[in-house]
Structure 1
Amino acid sequence: MRTQAWEPPQAQVERAYQPVEVRFEDGSWAVGRINAWWRPTDGSPWCRVRLLRRGGPERWMVFDPEQLMLLPAGGI
Structure 2
Amino acid sequence: MKSQCGPEDGAGPAGAEPVDRDVRWVYQPVEVDLGDGDWALGRITGWWQDTAGQPWCRLRIGRSGHAGDWQRFDPARVLLLPLSGL
Number of matched residues? 76
**Structure 1 residues 21-60: aligned runs within 5 Å:** 21-60=31-70
1:5-64 CA-partner distances (Å, limit 9, x unpaired): 342122101101110001022121110000000023423200001111222110111110
Structure 2, gaps ≥5 residues long:
none
Structure 1, gaps ≥5 residues long:
none
Greater strand share, structure number = 1
Map of 2:78 onto structure 1 = 68
Q: Distance in 1 between matches of 2:67 and 2:23?
A: 18
Aligned alpha-carbon RMSD (Å):
1.4
Map of 1:18 onto structure 2 = 28
Q: Percent identity?
A: 47
SS of equivalent residue, structure 1 residue 60: strand
| TM-score calculated relative to the size of structure 2 | 0.78
SS of equivalent residue, structure 1 residue 11: helix
Q: Distance in 1 between matches of 2:83 and 2:41?
A: 13
| TM-score calculated relative to the size of structure 1 | 0.87
